[in-house]
Amino acid sequence: MQQFGPKCLSDDLAAGSHWEKRLLMNEIMTGSVDTRSVVSKMTLALLEDSGWYQANYSMADHLDWGRNQGTDFITSPCNLWKGAYHCNTTNFSGCTYNREAEGYCPIVTYSGDLPKWARYFPQANKGGQSSLADYCTYFVAYSDGSCTDTNSARAPDRMLGEVRGSNSRCMASSLVRTGFVRGSITQGNGCYQHRCVNNSLEVAVDGIWKACPEAGGPVQFPGFNGELICPAYNELCSNRPVSVSEQCANSCNLNGDCVNGKCHCFLGFHGHDCSKRSCPNDCNGRGKCLSNGVCECENGRTGVDCSTAVCDEQCSLHGGVCDNGVCEFRCSDYAGYTCQNSSTLLSSLSVCKNVLERELSGQHCAPSEASILQQLEEVVVMPNYYRLFPGGAKKLFNNLFGSSYCDAAAKQLACWISIQKCDNDGDNRLRVCHSACQSYNLACGASLDCSDQTLFSSEEEGDGQCTGTGELKLSWFNRLRTSLFSSNTSLKRTSIEYSQS
């Protein structure tokens, strides 16, 4: 076939029989397809030009790859592509080129150097996973990352204001519902509803629509902390606004998609022309549906449909994360920390080794890297121990009358505060037992604030729901002096730290 203008056919292993993947990506006639394949008008035209076929162009699919990207998309190296068409690190997730899914950036280190024209990194052997796509690097959809498939919905979606469906697209976001926290990753991606009306790209969160800046940029929504980063208008909308088909009544009032003459209403609207406001799931019987289609939830409930239980405000104040009414203290909230089998930590420990040896059956929340775990003992555990073990005249008092009990209690508590047990699911860390704090106070005649729920469990929680234990053998003199020091409330409070900053 004679070529005119830019190369469109692959001259790779599939020479002469496939379109160039770098330029037509998910067209069904490229050498490979890693997203939803389409049959474009270009393929139909090629078949028709062969003289053997007559094409029905109304059956062609839309080929969105490179849409509105200009001629530079064809003539420039792919490492100069803009927006969602290019990625250069595996450390962060992103959005696929058509923003229909959340994805990852596959970058491969090859055993040999890539051709000079395919080198986009300082390392000559580093590039994208597809040779048919000229080793370009771009986001590939997660298997469960679809924004358009309602079956890809995940539990955190409501907390982040996300909705998955035919009109949802992937966008950068740090949104989180007021009263919740995102955890260690403050900036990520999410699936949000969009529409193109009145020469403007609009996005919705909780049924509230807001217009985006034409060039893209942040927008904020009531009831949420953080912001949603809109893409540029031409990424999701045509150069002229898309009008809803006249086949549908009142053009669905711009509150839905017109599909085969029938309105498919957006979340919060119903009726044959999407003119009526509705509340999602009728507020689940946990709130009042207002005339604007927004649920006014009863006390103790939140969410777009009042389906999510809220926690006491003390949960976030104490460093917890509210998960549908349950206050959780997640191990992953501390960067680099994971729940690990307790026995695997012993080889990296010295100060806390004896303490953890008594609890080898479960898991503990600790730094993943052994070197960081060793530093934790030096810069966190030991300073806490020195704060907890009484000093000055009182230390001398302890040395004369049973300091070993206080020393053991201080050491245990310092270790438990810094390396906490994990729950049975291996997701959440368990705060130090209230009884362990009390036991320390009794052993050392101290007045540590055991009601500080940032560090300690409540009195109602049993030893199996927290880290450590309140059992500590006391000498006869310690038991005697307990009554003396327990009534002394004028002692200075002790300040302790949980982990490295």
Strand partners, 104: 140
Task: Answer yes or no: do 187 and 285 share one domain.
Answer: no
Q: Indicate which CATH number applies to the domain containing 226.
A: 2.30.34.10
Task: Answer yes or no: do 338 and 366 share one domain.
Answer: yes
Task: Answer yes or no: do 136 and 151 share one domain.
Answer: no
Instruction: Give this prediction's pTM.
Output: 0.46
Give the whole-angstrom CA distance, residue 388 versus residue 418: 13
Q: Indicate which CATH number applies to the domain containing 302.
A: 2.10.25
Task: Answer yes or no: do 423 and 297 share one domain.
Answer: no
In a domain, 265, yes or no: no
Give the whole-angstrom CA distance, residue 121 versus residue 482: 67
The answer to whether residue 477 scores a pLDDT higher than 70 is: no
Per-residue pLDDT band for 220 (boundaries 50, 70, 90) equals very high
Select from 109, 142, 175 the last residue of a domain: 142
Per-residue pLDDT band for 268 (boundaries 50, 70, 90) equals low
The answer to whether residue 425 scores a pLDDT higher than 70 is: yes
| Distant-in-sequence, close-in-space partners of 224: CB < 8 Å, separation ≥ 6 | 161, 175, 176, 177, 178, 205, 206
Domain that holds residue 221: 147-236
In a domain, 253, yes or no: no
In a domain, 245, yes or no: no
**CB atoms < 10 A from the CB of 184, how many?**
12
The answer to whether residue 291 scores a pLDDT higher than 80 is: no
Give the whole-angstrom CA distance, residue 85 versus residue 68: 12
In a domain, 316, yes or no: no
Q: Would you state the pLDDT for residue 488?
A: 43
Q: What sign for the dihedral angle of Cα 11, 39, 55, 167?
A: negative
Per-residue pLDDT band for 147 (boundaries 50, 70, 90) equals very high
Task: Answer yes or no: do 10 and 134 share one domain.
Answer: yes
The answer to whether residue 341 scores a pLDDT higher than 60 is: yes
Higher local confidence (pLDDT), 37 or 434: 434
Q: Indicate which CATH number applies to the domain containing 463.
A: 1.10.2000
Task: Answer yes or no: do 3 and 63 share one domain.
Answer: yes
pLDDT tens sequence across 122-136 = 999 999 888 888 889
Q: Would you state the pLDDT for residue 111?
A: 92
The answer to whether residue 496 scores a pLDDT higher than 70 is: no
Tell me how many domains the chain contains: 4
Average pLDDT over residues 291-315: 81
DSSP 345: H
Give the whole-angstrom CA distance, residue 154 versus residue 172: 17
Per-residue pLDDT band for 393 (boundaries 50, 70, 90) equals very low
Task: Answer yes or no: do 295 and 427 share one domain.
Answer: no
Higher local confidence (pLDDT), 223 or 327: 223
Reduced to 3 states (helix: H, G, I; strand: E, B; else coil), residue 184 is: coil
Give the whole-angstrom CA distance, residue 287 versus residue 305: 8
Cβ(403)–Cβ(478) under 8 Å?
A: no
**Which candidate, 216, 238, 241, places its Cα nearest to that of 227?**
216
Task: Answer yes or no: do 481 and 337 share one domain.
Answer: yes
Angle between helices 392-400 and 403-418 (to 10 degrees): 120
Percent of the chain with pLDDT over 90: 9
Q: Would you state the pLDDT for residue 34?
A: 58
Which residues are annotated as part of the binding site for Zn(2+)? 18
Which residues are annotated as part of the binding site? 18
The answer to whether residue 274 scores a pLDDT higher than 90 is: no
Q: Would you state the pLDDT for residue 400?
A: 47
pLDDT tens sequence across 237-261 = 875 444 434 468 777 876 777 777 7
What's the chain's Rg over C-alpha atoms? Answer: 30
Q: What one-letter code names the amino acid at 194? A: H
Instruction: Give the pair of three-digit tokens for residue 251.
Output: 């053009």
Select from 142, 171, 195 the last residue of a domain: 142
Cβ(327)–Cβ(334) under 8 Å?
A: no
In three-state form (DSSP H/G/I as H, E/B as E, the rest C), the secondary structure along 147-192 is CCCHHHCCCCHHHHCCCCCCCEEEEEECCEECCCCCCCCCCEEEEE
Per-residue pLDDT band for 193 (boundaries 50, 70, 90) equals very high
Task: Answer yes or no: do 20 and 95 share one domain.
Answer: yes
Percent of the chain with pLDDT over 70: 82
In a domain, 162, yes or no: yes
Q: What sign for the dihedral angle of Cα 24, 36, 115, 1?
A: negative
In a domain, 346, yes or no: yes
Select from 118, 142, 166 the last residue of a domain: 142
The answer to whether residue 305 scores a pLDDT higher than 70 is: yes
In a domain, 478, yes or no: yes
**CB atoms < 10 A from the CB of 112, how many?**
6
Task: Answer yes or no: do 335 and 480 share one domain.
Answer: yes
Task: Answer yes or no: do 213 and 342 share one domain.
Answer: no
Q: Would you state the pLDDT for residue 76?
A: 86
Task: Answer yes or no: do 227 and 353 share one domain.
Answer: no
In a domain, 294, yes or no: yes
Q: Would you state the pLDDT for residue 125?
A: 92
Per-residue pLDDT band for 221 (boundaries 50, 70, 90) equals very high
| Distant-in-sequence, close-in-space partners of 115: CB < 8 Å, separation ≥ 6 | none
Q: Would you state the pLDDT for residue 5?
A: 38
Average pLDDT over residues 300-311: 83
